[in-house]
Amino acid sequence: MEGPRPVVLSGPSGAGKSTLMKMLLRDYDGVFGFSVSHTTRSPRPGEVDGKDYHFSNREAMQEDIDDGTYIENAEFSGNLYGTSKSSVDEVRANGLICILDVDIQGVRNIKQTDLDPIYVSIQPPSMEILEKRLRDRNTETEESLQKRLEAARVDMELSNEPGVFDMLIVNDDLEEAYEKLQSVLIEEITKVQSTKKERCNSIMSGPRPVVISGPSGAGKSTLLKKLLKDYKGVFGFSVSHTTRDPRPGEVDGKDYHFTNREAMQEDIDKGEFIETDEFSGNLYGTSKSAVQDVRAKGLICILDVDIAGVRHIKETNLDPIYISIQPPSIEVLEERLRGRATETEEKIQSRLEEARTDMEECNEPGLFDIVIVNNDLDEAYEKLQSVLKEEMSDVILMKAFQGQTCYLISF
């Protein structure tokens, strides 16, 4: 798995791990991340699956544990808890250093995997000081405190075994301990920061547009609405050109760029348009400059075009991501179209004929980067997000670099 090396932090309660982690997150914003753990317990009020935990059942989780897909796991109060390899990989795929806060047994479990993290142990200077820290919290019963102290004795002893940790930090002085923690992580921190700067520089010219194509009824509009809802401030639409007259309320430059046939035809002949068509005696088209206007704002320009439009764009230097959204079958598509109850029989037959052509041509090698068969909306949406993930990450990164905000609900 590519990405920064994870960091395993271990040590007894009261040693200062949480304080040191907070200092890291404060000073290195956008460098570290946390994996989402799995558990078999039921969600508590307000907890969100995939955000607070990946909620699972014992049978499925135990099967994954037996298959070796977990890097560490434990059982508390009759429920399994664990960290899967995939949850760590998700953090690394976003270019972040994944922090794993585990006990000494978790360290031993991770040692048996191919994760290759940086192992850091945070220890108190002595049992006496640790006990004072825990008592000063005034949050423990005597029984709980004694359990923590006993666990700490074992932890402090095992942490000195050769080869278990890359660095053992005795937290006698918080600032000195923090300096040591930074020193052992600085190489990975620098790599992450450099990579983010390089990515920002590479996308300043604007993110790649996205060409989405597919027959009416395949679910393009629904999928686009979900994208725009979940990734606010990430996508934009170009303003098309037309030679028809403005309708009441339409604004030039907002609804369309209104022009005359002579001027638009001249620009088409010059190659200034990436796709054009004619309806009812009027020209319609998308100009390169209209797409560039969206890209200049740091947004991913969405182009919803038919398959002929895809072929036209292929002849330009636009270099978008090409996505085809297709129904599972012509029968399912017909059922969807009839279910709308908005089409005449003649219109339905016309759409179905166009769809047959679209469904056949979309499988031409090299025409699309991905063909998504929309049989299940959630699965189709996951695939759409997956193919756009890198570009969306770049937009969010660039806006953060520029001090702007993207509202991200799911990613």
Active-site residue set = 44, 137, 148
Does residue 94 sit in helix, strand or coil?
A: coil
CA-based angle 297:303:309, to the nearest 5? 140
Q: What gap in Å lies between CA 341 and CA 344, rounded to an integer?
A: 8
CA dihedral for 253, 400, 204, 222, sign (positive or negative): negative
Cβ atoms of 150 and 197 within 8 Å: the answer is no
Q: Rounded distance, CA 86 to CA 68, Å?
A: 11
From CA 200, how far away is CA 400, in angstroms rounded? Answer: 10
Contact 232, 406 (CB under 8 A): yes
Which H or E run contains 247? none
| Single-letter amino acid code for the residue at 264 | M
State the Cα–Cα distance between residues 293 and 282, nearest whole angstrom.
24
Judging by beta carbons within 10 Å of its beta carbon (0-12, 13-18, 19+), is residue 41 exposed, middle or buried? middle
